[in-house]
Structure 1
Amino acid sequence: MSDTEYEYEDLGLVAGLEIHQQLDTATKLFCQCPTDLREPEESTRTFTRYLHPTRSELGEIDDAALEESKVDREFEYLAYDTTCLVEEDDEPPHELDDEALETALEVAQLMEMNPVDQANVMRKLVVDGSNTSGFQRSTLIATGGAIETSDGPVGIEDLLLEEESAQRVEETDDGVRYSLDRLGIPLVEIGTSPDISSPEQALEAAERIGMLLRSTGKVKRGLGTIRQDVNVSIAEGARVEIKGVQSLDDIDDIVRNEVARQAELVAIRDELTEREASVSDPENVTDVFEGTDSGVIQGALSSGGTVMGVRLEGFDGLVGREIAPDRRLGTEFSDHAKRHGAGGIFHTDELPAYGVTDEEVADLRDAVDADPEDAVAIVADETDVAEAAIDAVVERAQTALEGVPEETRGANDDGTTRYLRPLPGAARMYPETDVPPVEPDPSEVPEPELLTEKVERYQDEYDLGAGLAEQVAYGTHMPLFEDVVADGIDPTLAASTLESTLTELRRDDVAVENVTETHLQGVLRMVEDGDLPNEGVGDLLTALADEPDRTAEEAADAEDLGGADDEAVREAIVEVVERNEAQVAEEGMQAFSGLMGECMGALRGKADGDLVSEVLREEIQKRA
C-alpha cells in the first residue's frame, strides 16, 4: 500500500502534535526524589494497587477510564531506596518544583507564548496503572504561540507542565508491573494547533519543537525521554490520537499510514452500506469444534473454555481487507478482543487455516445462518473471556458500518498503530486541591540561545569546523561542553573528545555509558594541565568505562597513563632510532613514517604526538 495512492489535500488531512519532553531537573515535580532511572533489578520492595474510575465534579465518568476499568487487573509497583510517600500516593504532593517551572517558561518564551497569570494544578484521570494515584497532575503554563515550517506557521495552542508516568516493565499473569523511578519526573507537554496538512510538515514541525526544547540545555536526552503524540483526521474520517511515537523520524510514516487506514475504512464503510450490511448477536458455537485439530481452539476447549461466534452480514472479503501495512479490518477486531484477555480472533476471510478445516468452516456458517456474502468471526478462550471478547468484536464491527471511530491508538515500531481505548473527554480533568496555585514570573527567565545560533557561535568564537560545531550543539553533551570551555578547557579538545572520541569508543564496544560527566571533566582537565597527552584520552576513557568507581587521576595512575616528561620522551625515541640505526643511515628522513609509529607505541600514549614528531626529526637528522 503506497502513500502515493492518496492526495492529502483532496482527502482533507488535518494533523496536530503533542510533544512530551522530560526535563533534566534535580528533583521530581512534586517531591524531592531524584530523577535518575535505574534497572528494575535494583528495586528494594514492591506493592500492589487496584484502580477504578471516579466521577467528575459534574457527576460524569470519562469513557476511556470506564472502558479501562472493565479490564480487571492488578498493578504491581517496583519501589527503590529513594521512593517516598508522595510517589506511593500515601502523602499529599509538595509544591510545584521551581526549576521545572523556570524551564517550562524558557520553552514558552522560545515559542512566543503567553504565560498564564496563575498556574493551577489539575488532576487528569488515568486508570491504566501508570500512576499510583489513578490520575496525573498537569498544569497549564502558557498559551498562544507559533513555530515556522516551510509550509507555513503552525500554531502552538498550549504548554503544560506535567508529572511523568511510571515506567511499564512487563505484563504479569495478574496485570501489569511498573517501575516508580520514572514516576513524577517533570515534563512539558506542547500541543500544536491542527495546522499540519502533510506528513512532511508534521515531521518538520516536530523537529523544530525538538530543537527548541534542546536549546534550553535542560531537557533529558535518550530513548524514552521524548514522546510524540499525533492527532490525525481526514474529511470523511475522525480524529484519532496516536500515542507514544518514540522517534521523530517515525512521525511522517505514522501520519501516512493513518491516512491510509482512515481512507480504507471509509471505503469499507461505503461498501458495507452498498451491501446493506449488519451485525448479528453473538452465539455459542462450541459444538462445531468438538474434536478439532486446531491447537488454539482445542487448547481452549480442553481447559473448559468456549468458542463464541458472530455473523457479520455483508462483510465477506472485507474483514481480511488490508487497511495499513500488514494490518486488516480483522486486526482491528482482534485488537478489541485482546483488550479483554483473548489471544485474538479467527474469521472466515482467513479460514480454513490454523488447523480449522473446510468442513468446520461450513458447519460454522450453518451454525450462525451465514450466507456466502457474510463473514463469521470467532473467539476461543475461557468462557468469560470469550464472551467479553466477542462482545468487543461486535461493537467494533458495528462501528465499521459508520466508518472511522474516534479513538486513542498506540504507535507500533513499524509505523502502524493499534487500538488502545476511546478518546478521553472533559470528564477526566478536575482540580488538584492539595497543591497551591503559583503565579509564573517570566520577567526573570533568560531567553535561551537556539541550537542553530550555537552552531554559528561555536564556529566563530571557538574556530570549530561546521560539522563538529553542529555535532556538539545538537549532541547530548552540549551543556557539559559549555561548562568545561567556560572552565578553561580548549574548545577543540573538548569538542573532539565529547563527540569524536566517545563515538569511536562506542563503536569499539567500549561501555561509554559508564563514563560520567565528572570522569570527562577530570580527563579534559588532565590534558589541559599537561598531565595527560591527547593520545592517552581514549585509553583513559576506556579504563574508566571498565572501572567507573575510580576518578580520572586514579585510573591514569593505575594504568600508567600519565604524561612522560621531555627527558623520558627523548630517551624512548633515541632508543628506537638506535635500534633502527641501519635503516636511518640508508633512508634518512624517509624512515620517519615507520619510526613514528614505533615511537608512539614505545611511549604507549604517554607523550603528545607533536612532541614525539619534533624530537624524532631531530634525532634522525643528527644521524642522516
Structure 2
Amino acid sequence: MSDKFNYAELGLKCGLEIHQQLDSKHKLFCKCPTKIRNIEEYNHEFFRYLRPTASEMGETDRAALEQSKLRRKYVYKAYDSTCLVENDDEPPTEVNREALEIALSIIKLMNMVPVDQVHMMRKIVVDGSNTSGFQRTAFLAKDGYLDTSVGPVGVGVLCLEEEACQKIEDKGDSIIYSLDRLGIPLVEIGTDPDIISPAHAKETAQQIGMLLRSTGKVKRGLGTIRQDVNISIAKGARVELKGVQALDMIETMVELEVERQVNLLAIRDELLERGASVCDTIFDVTELFKETQSKVIKKTIKKGKVYAILLRGFSGFVGREVQPGRRLGTEFSDRAKTSGVGGIFHTDELPNYGITEGEVQALRMEVGAGENDAVIMVADREERARGAMISVIIRAKEALEGVPEETRRALPDGNNSYLRPLPGAARMYPETDVPQVNISPEYFNAIEKPELLTERAKRFESEFGLHMELAGKIAYSTYLPLFEEIMQLLGANQTVNATLVVRTLTGTLPELKRDGVEIDRLEDGHFIDIFNFIAEGGVSKEAIDDLLRAIADEPALCAKDAASKMGLGSLDISEVERIVEAIIEERQDFVKEKGMAAVGPVMGIVMKEVRGKVDGKVLSEMLKQKINKYINI
C-alpha cells in the first residue's frame, strides 16, 4: 500500500493491543475444557439483565453507562461442559497455573519486566459478553520492546485475562451468547505509541504474532487472535479501533482512520469559519408528517414520535464524506443508534425516502432553519427518538471541536463506526475472590524461553535437511507441534523423512480439502499412525493420499485397517518385478520406439497397478533398469 499522507507531518501516533487466546487444557478460573462447541450441542440456557456498578471511588464508567442505555435481555447457551463458575453462580477457583506460565514465557520473548505479585482485577463490561457483568484481568508485566525495521517499539503492558462469551445472534432487544468461549485464558499485549505508519503497524503486528506462535501454546484459527489499534494525529484525538480480525487490513484501517480525522478537522475549521452552532431544543414535528407517504415514518408514527433538531451553519456538511462511503451524517446516525433507533434523516439528503420537498420546507420552517442550516430528524418510539436526538446534539457539538475520543468498531471494508466512548479508570476494581500469586525471581527464571519460529526454521534446515521454503512453511504452520512429534518418533527412519512429512501436512492436506475431503476429522494420532505404518513397511509413501481420504471418511479406522479395506499393502519385490516386466512386454513397441523416454509414461501405468504398494523411488529405479535392459537386448 502506498502512503496517502505524510504521517510524520500529521504527527501520527499509533499503538496496538493484541488479544491472543492461550492453548491451555482448562479455562482460567475453572476446570472446564477450552474447546469451542457447536451451538447445536447446548443443553440448557438462562438469561440475565445487567447494569453498571460504581467503582470503589463511587464513579461509574462512561462506556458502561452508555452500554446500559438499552435495557437488553442477555440469553446464554450452556453445555454439558459448562460449570457454575461460567454461570456466575459460584466463585472462581485460583488462576490456572498452566496459562500463567504460558503468559510468563511470552513476557520473556518480549523482553518485559514481570510483576512481583499477580492481583486479579474486575473490568466492568455490561454488553452481556460476560455473565457476571465484568471481566477478570491481571497486569503481569511492563517495559518491554520489539525490534522492527524502523527501530524498537515499546511493549508497555501485558495482561492475563479471561475471554468473553461468543455472540451468536443480536435480536435488538435481546442478544444470544454461547458460554463455550467464556473463560478461555488470553493475553492482552499493548504496545507504546511508537508505530509511525500503516506499514509499520502491520509489521509490528506480524512480529508479535510470530513471537506468540513461537510458544507453541496459543490457539490458532479464526477469532483466536484479535487486534485493536489506537490511532491519533497531532490535532485529532485518540481513537481505539476494536476487532481488527485480518492482519492484512491493519494498513488500510490505520490509513482510513487518519483520513477520517483529517476530514473531521477540515470540517471543524469550515464550520467555525461559517459561525456554526448547535441548538439544544428538540422539536416535536410529528404533526407535520401525519399524511406522509414515507413508509418508514408512516410505520413508526402510529406508536411513536418524529423529533427534529436544528444545526445552524451545518448545511452541506452533514453530507460531507469523512471516509469512503461514510459521511458526517453517518457519524451522527451511529450515535443515534445507541438509543435503539434504526437511523436518522437529514436535510442534506432530503427529499428522499418518500419524504417530499413540501414536507422538507415545512420542516425547515417549523424549526426556523435558514439557508445554511441543517435539520436532523428521527422517527421512533418517544423514549428512543428523544434519546437519539440528545446523542446527535452531543456529536454535532463535538464536530465543532474536531475529533472526539471514541472506541470504534473496525468494519470489513477498512472503515470504522462508533461503538462507545473510551473507557476510563472507573471501570476497574479489585477482584477479591481470586488468591494472589507471587512471581519470585526463581519462579520466573525457571520458565523456559521459547525458541523463535525464525530460529526454528533455520534449525529444521540444518537438522532435517529441509529446503528453506519448506522449513519456513512448517515452522509457521498450525501443524508445527505435530511435525515435531512425528520427527521425534520417526526422525531416524529412512522411509519417513522430514520433507515427506512437511509436504503431507502443508501440501497434501490443502489439496484434499479443496477436493472436499473433511480433513478436520483427522486428528494428530491418525497422522502418527499412518507414518508409523509406512515406516514399518506396511505401505509405501504413495499410499498417504488414499489413507488420509479413507480415514477422514471413517475416523475409527487405523492405518492398517484402512489399507486392508482398500486393498493396499506392500508387495514382495519379486512380485513387483513380475508386474513391471509384464507391462513392458505389453508395450514393447512403444518402449523400443521411445527408449529411456518411455520411463515416465510406463511409470504412470505401473503406479496405477500397484496403487501405493511400492515406494516410488524404488519403482522408478527398477523401471529404468528393466527398460534399459530391454532396449539393449
Q: Normalising to structure 1: TM-score of the pair?
A: 0.96
- State the Cα deviation string for residues 386-439 of structure 1 (Å, max 9, x = none): 222222222211221211111111111111111111111111111111110001
1:533 to 529, 540, 554: 540
The corresponding residue for 1:508 is 515
1:499 to 502, 506, 516: 506
- State the Cα deviation string for residues 524-580 of structure 1 (Å, max 9, x = none): 222222223221112221222223343333333333333334344334334433332
TM-fit CA distance, 1:53: 0.7
SS in 2 for 1:548: coil
The corresponding residue for 2:375 is 376
Structure 1 residue 464 corresponds to structure 2 residue 493: no
Distance (whole Å) between structure 2 residues aligned to residue 575 and residue 344 of structure 1: 79
Distance (whole Å) between structure 2 residues aligned to residue 544 and residue 589 of structure 1: 38
TM-fit CA distance, 1:47: 0.9
The corresponding residue for 1:19 is 18
Pair 1:556–1:299, CA change in 2 (3 A) = farther
SS in 2 for 1:505: helix
1:614 to 601, 610, 621: 621
The corresponding residue for 2:480 is 478
Pair 1:398–1:527, CA change in 2 (3 A) = same
The question of whether the paired residues in 1 share the 8 Å contact of 2:119 and 2:139 is answered with yes
- State the Cα deviation string for residues 275-308 of structure 1 (Å, max 9, x = none): 221222221222222332322222222x423222
1:564-579 alignment to 2 at 5 Å? 564-579=571-586
Structure 1 residue 343 corresponds to structure 2 residue 342: yes
Distance (whole Å) between structure 1 residues aligned to residue 185 and residue 153 of structure 2: 25
The question of whether the paired residues in 1 share the 8 Å contact of 2:69 and 2:338 is answered with no
* 2:286 aligned partner, one-letter code: T
SS in 1 for 2:32: coil
TM-fit CA distance, 1:585: 4.7
Pair 1:576–1:130, CA change in 2 (3 A) = same
Distance (whole Å) between structure 2 residues aligned to residue 574 and residue 298 of structure 1: 87
* 1:448 aligned partner, one-letter code: P
Structure 1 residue 444 corresponds to structure 2 residue 446: yes
How many pairs does the alignment contain?
A: 622
Distance (whole Å) between structure 2 residues aligned to residue 152 and residue 548 of structure 1: 50
* 2:596 aligned partner, one-letter code: M
Distance (whole Å) between structure 2 residues aligned to residue 145 and residue 210 of structure 1: 16
2:525 to 518, 522, 525: 518
The corresponding residue for 2:590 is 583
Which range moves more in the overlay, 382-391 or 334-343? 382-391
Distance (whole Å) between structure 1 residues aligned to residue 629 and residue 151 of structure 2: 70
The corresponding residue for 1:284 is 284
TM-fit CA distance, 1:315: 0.6
* 1:550 aligned partner, one-letter code: L
Distance (whole Å) between structure 2 residues aligned to residue 548 and residue 49 of structure 1: 40
The corresponding residue for 1:563 is 570
Distance (whole Å) between structure 2 residues aligned to residue 25 and residue 5 of structure 1: 42
Pair 1:565–1:439, CA change in 2 (3 A) = farther
Distance (whole Å) between structure 1 residues aligned to residue 334 and residue 472 of structure 2: 43
Which range moves more in the overlay, 413-422 or 498-507? 498-507
Pair 1:549–1:294, CA change in 2 (3 A) = farther
Q: Which runs of 5+ in 1 are unaligned?
A: none
Distance (whole Å) between structure 1 residues aligned to residue 86 and residue 343 of structure 2: 36
Q: Normalising to structure 2: TM-score of the pair?
A: 0.95
The question of whether the paired residues in 1 share the 8 Å contact of 2:538 and 2:560 is answered with no
1:166-185 alignment to 2 at 5 Å? 166-185=165-184
Distance (whole Å) between structure 1 residues aligned to residue 347 and residue 611 of structure 2: 71
Distance (whole Å) between structure 1 residues aligned to residue 159 and residue 122 of structure 2: 12
Distance (whole Å) between structure 2 residues aligned to residue 568 and residue 390 of structure 1: 87
The question of whether the paired residues in 2 share the 8 Å contact of 1:3 and 1:256 is answered with no
The corresponding residue for 2:297 is 297
- State the Cα deviation string for residues 63-85 of structure 1 (Å, max 9, x = none): 11111111110111111110011
Distance (whole Å) between structure 2 residues aligned to residue 398 and residue 461 of structure 1: 65
TM-fit CA distance, 1:594: 1.8
Distance (whole Å) between structure 1 residues aligned to residue 338 and residue 70 of structure 2: 7
SS in 2 for 1:76: strand
TM-fit CA distance, 1:107: 0.6
1:148-547 alignment to 2 at 5 Å? 148-280=147-279, 281-301=281-301, 303-440=302-439, 441-489=443-491, 490-547=497-554
The question of whether the paired residues in 1 share the 8 Å contact of 2:164 and 2:182 is answered with yes
- State the Cα deviation string for residues 567-611 of structure 1 (Å, max 9, x = none): 443343344333324433554434322211111111222322112
* 2:138 aligned partner, one-letter code: T
The question of whether the paired residues in 2 share the 8 Å contact of 1:535 and 1:605 is answered with yes
Pair 1:588–1:148, CA change in 2 (3 A) = closer
SS in 2 for 1:34: coil
Structure 1 residue 596 corresponds to structure 2 residue 603: yes
Distance (whole Å) between structure 1 residues aligned to residue 71 and residue 413 of structure 2: 30
SS in 2 for 1:395: helix
SS in 2 for 1:312: strand
TM-fit CA distance, 1:510: 2.5
TM-fit CA distance, 1:452: 1.0
- State the Cα deviation string for residues 161-183 of structure 1 (Å, max 9, x = none): 11111111111253111111111
SS in 1 for 2:490: coil
The question of whether the paired residues in 2 share the 8 Å contact of 1:540 and 1:561 is answered with no
TM-fit CA distance, 1:96: 0.8
Pair 1:92–1:573, CA change in 2 (3 A) = same
The question of whether the paired residues in 1 share the 8 Å contact of 2:308 and 2:389 is answered with yes
SS in 1 for 2:463: helix
What fraction of aligned residue pairs are identical, expressed as a percent? 54
The question of whether the paired residues in 2 share the 8 Å contact of 1:18 and 1:228 is answered with yes
Q: Which runs of 5+ in 2 are unaligned?
A: 492-496
* 2:284 aligned partner, one-letter code: N
Which range moves more in the overlay, 451-460 or 358-367? 358-367
Pair 1:557–1:78, CA change in 2 (3 A) = farther
The question of whether the paired residues in 2 share the 8 Å contact of 1:3 and 1:260 is answered with no
TM-fit CA distance, 1:254: 1.2
1:28-43 alignment to 2 at 5 Å? 28-43=27-42
* 2:106 aligned partner, one-letter code: V
TM-fit CA distance, 1:385: 2.2
TM-fit CA distance, 1:158: 1.1
Which range moves more in the overlay, 468-477 or 265-274? 265-274
* 1:155 aligned partner, one-letter code: G
The question of whether the paired residues in 2 share the 8 Å contact of 1:544 and 1:555 is answered with yes
Distance (whole Å) between structure 2 residues aligned to residue 264 and residue 118 of structure 1: 46
Which range moves more in the overlay, 444-453 or 391-400? 391-400
SS in 2 for 1:218: coil
